[in-house]
Structure 1
Amino acid sequence: MKKLFMGITFSIVLFLAACAPNFEQEDQIVHEKEEETNEKAIIPKYKISEDYYRTFMPFEPGEARGLVVNNLNTRYDIYEFETGLMRIAKNTFDTNKYVFREGQYLDSSTVISWLNRKYTKDQLKERDMEETENLGLNPVDPGGGDIDKRNEENPIYLAHILEHNYLEAVDGKEGTYKLGGVVIGLAMNSVHYYQKEAYGATYETKISHSELEQKGKEIAQEVVNRLRKMDELKNVPITIALFEQKTKSSIVPGNFFAFAEVGKGSSKINGWEKVNEGYVLFPSNTAENDHREDMTWFQNFKQDVEEYFPNFNGVVGTGFYLDDQLQSLSIDIPIQFYGKSEAIGFTQYVTGLVMEHFPGYVAVEVNVSSVYGQEALIVKNPNQDEPFVHVYQ
């Protein structure tokens, strides 16, 4: 299986990237569009890290921009769905050869129509719709009978569709760029929420992972078939990935669990590659049962923090796992301070604990906050002897 690479996305750390940045001026380039007049654009030469794509400029918002906020359950899922899709893309599209652009081929009306349920002939008639408009990828709700049974048997599987475009230099020479590939993310529901009446109570039915995986792969094939019918996408490579989003009450994000690559001109998905990644809350039963050693490190750190503030127990962490190995740990410590000197002293104390308790291969970020906002940031990159520490003024 191709290995996925996890890049830690800490904003401050962007200045600490191991590779030396290139500060040369931007390239003014021409973006080739089929059957359209060429347009000028800027591709920045400066890269903050090898983990990130350069971005097509001026920035072109995605045609379906904004829908993700309404379709995904939590802000954690929204963030992870997009950044995780970029991690998937790196399996196919090299960050040194391709330039990122938000999706330009699936507009809002298309995405909305694909996210609908499929309609029966009678339902189409009621809505004054033609069969050509019956594009929903979610199952039919036949109506009538027991509403709970209907929703249990025909849940909404597909929550959202996200498109990313990757541009490549024509003939390998920078100066003129063309579409080099498309990456599609399909966000699948682990829980289907529904109402029996407008503005009434919300009910839910759980969807097993095996069921949403099966349905996701079926939907993915249909999405690829539809993309191939678009003139601009007939011959470009397509990568499509499946994301399982968490419940509305979750405080950790969902994760991608499978992806497939479809070669130029092909419409058939021949096989899927498993993605073994996910997020774990610390402390939690999941961490205790499945990652006991990591839980021990975290609990020792937490106990030492509480020695500084004996009545405090608010240390919470989120760990990212790839192939069952802890890659990064983000820790939040909300504290009530009575002065800046106290905040500085506490930050120094916590920095020592970070270096003492966590293994060198794990990236750690600690955010210290108070009722007044962010107080300090501590960042330790893998195998880094000295962490980065910033106390906010």
Structure 2
Amino acid sequence: MLKNVGIWLMITLLILSGCAPSLNKNEDEVVQKEDKQKKQEKSIVPSYQLSDETYRTILPYRTSASRGVITNQVMNRMDIGEMETGLRRLSKSYYDPEKYFFEEGQYLTSDMLYKWLGRKLTKKQLKKAVQDRVAFLQERGQKVDEERKQAIRHDFQLGLNPTIANDKSKKQQKNNPKYLTHILEHNFLKRNDDDTVELIGASIGIAMKSEYAFKTEIGGPTYHKTIDKETMMKKGKAIAQTVLERVRNIEGLSDIPIMFALYREEDKGSPVPGSYVAKTQVSDDDTNIGDWETVHEENILFPSDEGEEKYYDQQQQIKDFADKIQEYFPNYTGVIGEGFYIDEELQKLTLEIPLEFYGKGEVIGFTQYTYGLVQEMFQNYYELEIKIKSNKKMESVIYRKAGDNEPKVHIFNK
């Protein structure tokens, strides 16, 4: 039996979303304000909040109006999770989780985003695109007057990525990379005295590439263009200004505060995600972005050259931890770590230990041994999570919240 070990049930999805079923039977029923023409819908505000740092949500849960776009646009799966959770984390500085409720973006639609995420067309490309679209509609018996042609022409010019005359030109692709990958919207609601909830603010995350991968022909080689941070920041700020001007023309977003944040992606094969690098708040109906504030967040892989250069002591500690494990189980393949830092201060350390086990007894014994190492070697000022796996299956998890003296453990039965 494990001594002084508590059983911890993983509820990761609930923690990430800040959405939990109420443990209080007296849930509050409210009416969610919609457009004047739409019928008001009754909603439920859960009375229970997981912690002071997580947002409560309105039930029934409404998914994003652009659901699925992020998975089609952001190539690194690690970036998808970090972009979403990071935007909520930054939003707490502007929208207090104790006062306001969280809802996925309801205003930026999939159709809208796909138009914005494309390239702006040259005059020649625009003319052909409009002609092709008009011909397509007419073939299906639709009437296309001049007003509709203008609307079609307008839609084809909404792309926020640079124009390129010839996408088969390696030189043009490198000189005009796609910088923008995704635009993520989060909404924040307040409860009124008449038991309605209404939108009081929004956050918009703008994902920018650190590396542009492209092909000049089908089946041809993939080329890569590195995008330096300075260029990314300049392009990202200009894109954010254009996005602000556009969302101010959307009913519901025209006169509320909006927080913008720039996210710098990692390359497609990176084992750790990128991070937010800048943020700014625009008040009420303002249509111009002022100064930006640098965000000092980063995700560091251990072991790595970057980890050794920036956080040598942490990397050495993980190496010593790995050496101790090797004494107990010499045929393991190594410890992989990810550290999340804010202002160069470690906030969370996640370690993954891949091993081959031949019985539940080995899992229990190894987990117990690792638990002891955690108590001996790792300070408790940051969150710590250790995942013990075999054949890509989770065997056990050791978890300790920042400030706790003793970790909690969950050993999976299957």
Common topology (TM > 0.5): yes
RMSD: 1.9
Which runs of no fewer than 5 residues in structure 2 stay unpaired? 1-9, 134-151
Equivalent of residue 308 in structure 1, options 310, 328, 352: 328
Structure 2 residue 33 is the aligned partner of structure 1 residue 32? yes
Alignment partner of 1:149 is 2:150: no
Which residue in 2 is equivalent to 1:101? 103
Q: Secondary structure at the match of 2:308?
A: helix
Among 166, 179, 184, the residue aligned to 2:188: 166
Deviation at 1:198, TM superposition (A): 2.3
Work out whether residues 352 and 388 of structure 2, in 8 Å CA contact, stay in contact via their aligned partners in 1.
yes
Quote the residue 2:11 is aligned against. Answer: 11
Secondary structure in structure 1 of the residue aligned to 2:119: coil
SS in 2 for 1:379: strand
Structure 1 position 61 matched with structure 2 position 48: no
Post-superposition offset of 1:336: 0.9
Residues 303-337 of structure 1, C-alpha deviations (whole Å, 9 max, x = no match): 10111112323211111011001111111111111
Give the deviation of 1:360 after TM superposition.
Answer: 1.9
Any conservation in 2 of the 1:14–1:49 contact (CA below 8 Å)? no
* 1:252–1:277 CA distance, 2 compared to 1 (3 A): same
Residue 99 of structure 2 corresponds to residue 77 of structure 1: no
1:245 corresponds in structure 2 to 265
Q: Write out per-residue CA displacement over residues 164-220 of structure 1, whole angstroms, 9 at most, x where no aligned residue.
A: 1111112xx372100111111100001111111123322111111100100000000
The question of 1:384 aligning with 2:404 is answered yes
> In structure 2, what is the Cα distance between the partners aligned to 1:334 and 1:309?
11
**Shift in CA distance, 336/147, structure 1 to aligned 2, threshold 3 Å:** same
Code of the aligned partner of 1:312 = Y
Higher Cα Rg, which structure? 2
Q: Please, what TM-score do these two structures have when normalized by structure 2? A: 0.87
* Matching residue's letter, 2:225: T
Which among 340, 353, 366 is matched to residue 386 of structure 2? Answer: 366
Q: Could you tell me how far apart the structure 1 residues matched to 2:286 and 2:160 are?
A: 21
Partner of 1:136: 159
Match of 2:199 among 175, 179, 187: 179
User: Residue in 2 aligned with 1:222?
Assistant: 242
| Contact 2:74 2:80 (C-alpha < 8 Å) held by counterparts | yes
Question: Following the alignment from structure 1 to structure 2, what is the Cα–Cα distance between the partners of residues 204 and 26?
Answer: 53
Partner of 2:3: none
Q: What is the count of residue pairs matched by the alignment?
A: 377
Gaps of at least 5 residues in structure 1 are 1-9
Looking at structure 2, the residues matched to 14 and 174 of structure 1 have their Cα atoms a distance apart, in angstroms, of: 29
Q: Secondary structure at the match of 1:30?
A: strand
* 1:48 aligned residue: 50
2:73 is matched by which residue type in structure 1?
N
**How far 1:43 moved relative to its partner?**
1.2
2:332–2:356 contact (8 Å) kept in structure 1: no
Distance 1:33 1:254 in 2: 36
Is 1:291 the counterpart of 2:321 in the alignment?
A: no
SS in 1 for 2:88: helix
Q: Could you tell me which residue of structure 2 aligns to residue 333 of structure 1?
A: 353
310-319 or 250-259: bigger deviation: 310-319
1:198-277 paired onto structure 2 within 5 Å: 198-277=218-297
**2:356–2:390 contact (8 Å) kept in structure 1:** yes
- Return the offset for 1:384: 1.3
Distance 1:199 1:12, change over 3 A: closer
The alignment-based identity, stated in percent, is 40
Residues 296/174 of structure 1: CA separation in 2 closer, same or farther (3 Å cut) = farther
